[in-house]
Structure 1
């Protein structure tokens, strides 16, 4: 049996289903996908994809920080977009939060995301 621990913080939105915000196993943290929900309002911010990308990464950072790590410890991200043409705009926001060496990353266009969001990001983090 694995020694897994659920990570929970009020600084990021609650899970919208039967899952944890993140699970820590040994030195690895696996986050659930974070949506651009403002935890103080429970709403997805209006405006550009950049506004929602900032909120998504802030939520991701809050979950990671609750586990005792930071964005600098992220080794892999997966970005889900409902419109892949937003990719360059997302990159501009992404590089404001992540530094070299950047985490490995995959990005996909998907048909839909929960709560009609247009971006979701999940991460794998190494906690030393």
Structure 2
């Protein structure tokens, strides 16, 4: 039977619902969607779009790190952004934060997200053996 391992870190906000920050199964790390929320769970929908992306990415990266993944070990990212016109600004911040890492990626324009946030990011990582 395949074991599921829950990954948790205090370097990202604790889940606000019935889910884990991440789950590791069969060597892969699945990170739940991260909104621009501070570690103390303060929702930062008041921030500019770019700063919301930075905070959501920082949360995802902290959880990936807790599971043994650096940016170079991210296999896939899905980003949900409010407004297709925000795509170039998302791309800019994303590239700055990931550097040379180029995981597979999907960007999904949506009309709205929880708490009035402008971005949500989830990821799949492949920790080094």
- TM-score between the two structures when normalised by the length of structure 1: 0.92
1:58 matched to which residue of 2? 58
SS at match of 1:43: coil
Aligned 8 A contact 1:29 1:124 in 2: yes
Q: CA RMSD for the aligned pairs?
A: 1.5
Matches within 5 A, 1:3-22: 3-22=3-22
Unaligned runs of 5+ in 1: none
CA–CA distance in 2 between the matches of 1:9 and 1:52? Answer: 20
Shift of 1:83: 1.2
1:111 matched to which residue of 2? 111
- Cα 1:41/1:127, change in 2 over 3 Å: closer
Matches within 5 A, 1:37-76: 37-40=37-40, 42-44=42-44, 46-76=46-76
CA–CA distance in 1 between the matches of 2:40 and 2:16? Answer: 15
Aligned 8 A contact 2:4 2:24 in 1: yes
- TM-score between the two structures when normalised by the length of structure 2: 0.91
1:127 matched to which residue of 2? 127
CA–CA distance in 1 between the matches of 2:71 and 2:94? Answer: 11
Show structure 1 runs of 4+ deviating over 4 A: none
CA–CA distance in 2 between the matches of 1:94 and 1:79? Answer: 10
- Cα 1:12/1:40, change in 2 over 3 Å: same
Unaligned runs of 5+ in 2: none
Matches within 5 A, 1:26-45: 26-40=26-40, 42-44=42-44
Q: Tell me the matched-pair count.
A: 128
Aligned 8 A contact 1:81 1:109 in 2: yes
1:92 matched to which residue of 2? 92
CA–CA distance in 1 between the matches of 2:28 and 2:83? Answer: 30
